[in-house]
Amino acid sequence: MALTTDVDRTTSAPTRRLPGPDVVRAVALIGVVVMNYHGYLIIARSDGDTGTGWAAELFDPWAGPLSTRFAATFVLVAGVGVTLMTRNTVDATGRRNATRSSSADPVTPMRWRLVRRGVLLYTGGLVLDEIWPGTIIPFYGAMFIAAAAMFTWRSRWIVAVATASALAGWAIRVWRYRQRDDGISTAWLTDPGVGSVRHYVFGVFVNGTHPLLPWLAFFCCGMLLGRALRTSWWRPAALGAGVSLAAGAAALSSGATTDFQRVALSTGPADRGLLYVASALGTALLAYATIDWLAERFPIATDPLRRAGQLSLSLYLLHVVVFNVTVDWLGWIEPAGLDLALTLAFAFWVVGIVLAVGWQRRFGVGPAERVYRAFGG
C-alpha cells in the first residue's frame, strides 16, 4: 500500500518524495493483477485448466516462475515504505534521532500509527477475503503491526527476525512432509476450524496465502533496504545480492534427487522453503534496483507509474471490484485462459493509470488512501 512520507536519501530532513518506491510498487501491482486475474479465471472455469506451453508455465499462478514474485516485491516495497515513513523518528541504525527532545518523543505515536494502520488492513483484509479469497491485505496488516515494534531495532535484530521467519517457514514445511510420510495427520495445524482462534493465528502465521512464516522475511529485508537507501552503494549491493540469491537458489534446487530433497530444496512458492525465500528475495531486489534506476533516469516517462503507485491501495481494491462485477456478478466476461487474463489486466491498467494520474493531479491522495490515513494517521 502506498505510504505517506518519503524523504531524501542523504538527510533526515523531509524533502521530496522519492519516485523509486512508488514506481516499483506500481510495477509490482501490475504483475499482481495479471497473476490474480489469471488465477481467478482458472478457478472460475469448470475444468480448472491452466493451459499448456511456455507462456502457461511461466504465468502459472500457483507453481510458475513468476508465481508470487510480484507479491514478494510488493511486500519488499512495503518494508521500504515503513523505513521511509519513520525516518524522521529514528536514524539509519534504528536509534532515536538525537535532534528530538525527550519531552516530544515521536516514537510512541509512530508505533501506534503503525498499529492502527495494521489493524485496519488486517480487519479490512479479512472482510475482503470473503469476496477475494487469498488477498494479501490481512498479511500486510500483520506485518505493519510487527513493524510497530521493529522500526526502532538495530539492523542486526531485523536480520535475525528475517532469518528466523524464513527458517521457521521452511522447518514447518519439512516437518509436515515428514509427518505425512509417517502417516501422521497435521490437520490440527492446517485445518483448525473456521472461526476459531487457532484458525486466525495459524492462518496469518502458517496456512494463508502469504503467511508471516516466511513472508515476514521479505518485509524485514525491505526495512533494511530502506535504511540502505541513504548510502551510495545500495544499488550495486542490491543487484549483487539479487543475482547471488536467485542464482544460488536455482543451483542448489537443481541438485535435488530424492522426494525429500525436492521439498527441502524447493524454490516453489507452495513449499515456502529457504531456497524459495532466497530466490524470490533475489528477484525482488533485482527488480527494485532496476526499476528505481529507471524511475530516476527517466522521470517523465515513469511519472504515470509513480502517480499510480501512490494510489496502489485504491487500484488494488478497484481490480477486485472490476473482476467481481464483470466476471462473477454480471457474467459479461466468460472465464478463459491466459490470453483473456492478460487482455483484462492490460485493459484494467490502461484505464487505471489514466484514472490514477487524473485523480492524483486533482485530489492528491486516493479515495482508499484517504480512509486509510484518516484511521491510521
165-215 tens-digit pLDDT: 999 999 999 999 999 988 998 888 887 778 888 889 999 999 889 999 999
Q: Answer whether residue 3 is part of any domain.
A: no
pLDDT at 97: 62
Query: C-alpha angle 171/67/138, rounded to 5°?
Result: 70
In terms of residue numbers, what domain contains 50?
Answer: 19-376
CA distance 87 to 7: 8
Looking at 6-113, which runs of residues are DSSP E strands? none
Comparing C-alpha atoms, which of 6, 148, 162, 157 is closest to residue 72?
162
- Calculate mean pLDDT across residues 282-304: 97
Residues 6+ apart with CB under 8 A from 234: 225, 228
- Calculate mean pLDDT across residues 50-65: 85
pLDDT at 191: 79
Query: pLDDT (tens digit, 9 = 90+) per residue, 266-277?
Result: 999 989 999 999
- Calculate mean pLDDT across residues 23-33: 97
Q: Answer whether residue 12 is part of any domain.
A: no
Comparing C-alpha atoms, which of 228, 225, 199, 48 is closest to residue 129?
199
Q: Answer whether residue 41 is part of any domain.
A: yes
- Calculate mean pLDDT across residues 116-135: 95
CA distance 88 to 106: 9
Q: Answer whether residue 9 is part of any domain.
A: no
Number of domains forming the structure of the chain: 1
Cis peptide before 19 (omega within 30 of 0): no
Identity of residue 322: V
Identity of residue 234: W
Q: Answer whether residue 140 is part of any domain.
A: yes
Q: Answer whether residue 2 is part of any domain.
A: no
pTM: 0.92
pLDDT at 294: 97
Q: Round the average pLDDT of the chain to a whole number and report it.
A: 90
Contact present, 280 and 218 (Cβ < 8 Å):
yes
- Calculate mean pLDDT across residues 59-84: 94
Q: Answer whether residue 14 is part of any domain.
A: no
Q: Answer whether residue 203 is part of any domain.
A: yes
